[in-house]
Amino acid sequence: MKKALILMLVLLMVALPVLCACGESEDESSTAPQTSETSEEGKLSFPLEKRDFGGTTITVLCKPKRSSLQFCPNEEYENSAINVAVNARNQYIEENFGLIIEVEEVSTPATEIKTMMESNIDDYDIVCDSVCRMLPTVTESMFYSLNDMLQLSQPYWDQNANEYLTLSDKIFFVTGDALFQDDLFTSAVLFNKDLWNQYYQETEGSLYDIVRQKKWTIDKLGELAKGFSQPDENGSWTTPECMYGIVTDGYTGATHLTAGANVMTASKDDNGEITLHVGDERSVKAFDKVYNILNDVTVSMYVEQVKTDNNWGVISNMFVDNHALFQVAYINTLIGIKENENPDKVDPGVVPIPMFDDAQADEGYFDGINIYQLEVAGIPTSNSKRLEETAYLLEALGYYSSNYSQFGKDSVTYSTYETTLKLQSVTSDDDTEMMDYIMTHRLYDLGGIFDWGKKLTGAYSYNLYNGQNTLVSSWDANKAMVEAEMQKTIEAYKNSIA
């Protein structure tokens, strides 16, 4: 009861300036939301009235490295375009609104904030962590609903995430221009341009044209990979000396190649109803194709087959060192390749995850998100002292990180996507075209995020590791339990007091 009363008072504090603005007062301190109007071509005005919060510090609990870079400059990236843009944005916010941003880096922010809240520690105003760690916390009323705190319909917030990353009409977390991990960890197929030109350009033509013609299917991927693969000089497979059609890791390959068929373990329809799909015919048929490709050691090699401590490095280096035609990975892999010092490294191209078959042409291609790396931000319910300032800062971070603001080509969004990814990490207009397509055709798999019954995140990859495709029988045995767990979560979401 006490918590509910505090929450009501806090929300009243946030809403009070808005209510005052509805009167005749011309007090410039009002935070009344303003309708965003286009101030010049391609730009929007900041949708809140200007406030001065007098040097208030807002502290973000987040993961280290690129995660914290989303909020504060980081010496590790001192000379990067992103770091420069983040620094300029933060200086502007501090000088114009009196809000100072600080970060505290921990490995698992969502877990840490729960422990702190249980100990009545209220040092942190914003929490940013992986979507699969953040969304399940709503059932414990750990985060505020942002519906009345932020202008969530603004284009600098990811509208697909707003729609699909919730189980009710309440939105507890945001992603968008303020955060760039979603772009970096969107799945794709990278390919070796030199090897393609050497082996397939004459017979197949441009891979980009195959994609444009909607002929890029999982069967086509398997056919090309099989035709390319060669054992090592001893006739052995699954060694770094082989030439492989596909390299990947088990989770990424199994999950995202299956998702390319527009398949998710669970999804939300237009009426807000959540449906499980693992046992659907489309899911089963798509994974059959994927399993047969990835389980064939004469076609594919994945991380978990390498029995060394550096198994991830082995697979990554095979692609970098021109020992693989395709890599099923994430967009951020391009940055790693760019920074690799091997003078003979791969010249990478990028295309979407292939479709299930030609009949999917009207739907197009689909690319999933790495749920362990996609990050969202929320305001913990332990934040009662700086709630108004925190909400204002989040709005400012969203707007002033975007291309819609006056920063334009110097914005965090432009510096991340246009400069770091498109200008510096790929070498052709074809690649930038493909990347633009990929970013606008993302899937958010609610089942993988919530992992009800611990049976959804690894629903496909488990079969690969197990060496047997038992998807149908395993799902039949677990479906009722998964559905029951899902319903509990849905009810808890709807009843959350935050």
Lowest-pLDDT range, 21-35, 45-59, 290-304, 440-454? 21-35
Whether 386 and 403 map to the same domain: the answer is yes
pLDDT at 400: 98
Lowest mean pLDDT among 22-36, 91-105, 181-195: 22-36
Task: Give the whole-angstrom CA distance, residue 136 versus residue 274.
Answer: 15
pLDDT tops 70 at residue 41: no
Kindly state whether residue 338 falls inside one of the protein's structural domains.
yes
- C-alpha distances (whole Å) from 311 to each of 131, 238, 323, 403, 431 are 26, 12, 15, 39, 28
pLDDT per residue over 76-106, tens digit each? 898 899 999 999 999 999 999 999 999 999 9
Let me know if residue 436 belongs to a domain. no
Please state, rounded to an integer, the average pLDDT across all residues of the chain.
91
Residue 240, in any domain of the structure: yes
Counting residues of the chain whose pLDDT is more than 90, the rounded percentage is 84
Q: Are residues 197 and 163 in the same domain?
A: no
CATH value at residue 384? 3.40.190.10
pLDDT-based confidence at 313, cuts 50/70/90?
A: very high
* Distance of alpha carbon 29 from alpha carbon 368, whole angstroms: 43
Give me the residues paired with residue 317 across strands: none
Residue 151 shares a structural domain with residue 224: no
Residue 280 lies in a domain: yes
Judge whether 493 lies within some domain.
no
- Looking at per-residue pLDDT, the higher value among 323 and 27 belongs to 323
Domains held by the chain: number = 2
Residues 219 and 314 in one domain: yes
Has residue 37 been placed in a domain? no
Decide if 434 is inside a domain.
Answer: no
Q: Which domain holds residue 173?
A: 42-182+373-424
Contact 368, 286 (CB under 8 A): no
Report, as an integer, the average pLDDT of 392-404.
Answer: 97
Provide CB contacts within 8 A for 35, sequence distance 6+.
47
Regarding whether 411 and 320 lie in a shared domain, the answer is: no
Task: Give 141-153 pLDDT, tens digit per residue.
Answer: 999 999 999 999 9
Q: Is the pLDDT of residue 410 over 50?
A: yes
111 within domain boundaries: yes
pLDDT digits (tens, 9 = 90+) for 467-491: 999 999 999 999 999 999 999 999 8
The stretch 169-188 carries a mean pLDDT of 94
pLDDT mean over 392-418: 96
Percentage of the chain with pLDDT > 70? 91
Give the per-residue pLDDT at 42: 65
pLDDT value, residue 14: 40
Give yes or no: residues 241 and 344 share one domain: yes
Same domain, 129 and 272: no
Same domain, 310 and 174: no
Residues 78 and 129 in one domain: yes
Q: Residues in the chain, how many?
A: 498
The pTM of this model reads 0.88
Same-domain pairing of 221 and 285: yes
Cα atoms in the 13 Å half-sphere on the side-chain side of 286: 28
CA 338/CA 184 separation, integer angstroms: 14
In a shared domain, residues 206 and 349 = yes
Q: Do residues 122 and 202 share a domain? A: no
Band of residue 43 on the pLDDT scale cut at 50, 70, 90: confident
For residues 337-343, average pLDDT: 93
Please determine, for residue 32, whether its predicted confidence score (pLDDT) is greater than 90: no
